[in-house]
Amino acid sequence: MRRVLALLPVGLLLLAAAEIVVFAAVAHALGAGWAVLLLAASSVAGLALLRREGIRGWRSFRAAAEAGRPPGAQVSNSLVGLLGALLLAMPGFLTAVTGLVLIIPPGRYLARRGVERAAERRLSATVAGDLFGPRHVRVHQADPVDDPAPAPRAPSREIISGEVVEGDIVR
């Protein structure tokens, strides 16, 4: 975490330089007036979306908590939406495009899954289950043909032949 914080000023400086270059290219292609108008429109849209996403996220969190469902999916979806709206509200074409990708459903879904996976890696299985609900696990039977020389296994880990069982791990 400290490395990320140490590299943050360098990253922000590079982002600012890239935004200036992209703005100059768009201003050259469309004209300076249209480029400024486009930036202003994206910032206003981002501010409106920021308010809407915040209210929507709070309502979905409360609804999940009142229904007794794990609120993790709603929280991660709201965080991604808020980040997208915040990036859209920032002046700059690169941040606006990134924010727009996080607002549209396919991009939001992929980013939400990434946030959930990152949280699952940092949290214990019990806490992740409480946050995001039961995890879906698939168990596949090992095929001895794929591995002609299997490595010696510990006595507690043996392969049991039979059906593949799919289920949810609750705790």
- pLDDT tens, residue by residue, 87-112: 999 999 999 999 999 999 899 999 98
Label residue 140 by pLDDT band (50, 70, 90): low
Helices (H), the chain: 2-30, 32-67, 72-89, 93-103, 105-122, 125-132
Q: For 61-74, what is each residue's pLDDT tens digit?
A: 888 878 877 777 77
- pTM surpassing 0.75? no
Assess whether pLDDT exceeds 70 at residue 164. no
CA–CA separation, 113 vs 108, rounded Å?
A: 9
Contact by Cβ (8 Å): 104, 112 = no
For residue 46, how many other CB atoms are within 10 A of its CB?
Answer: 23
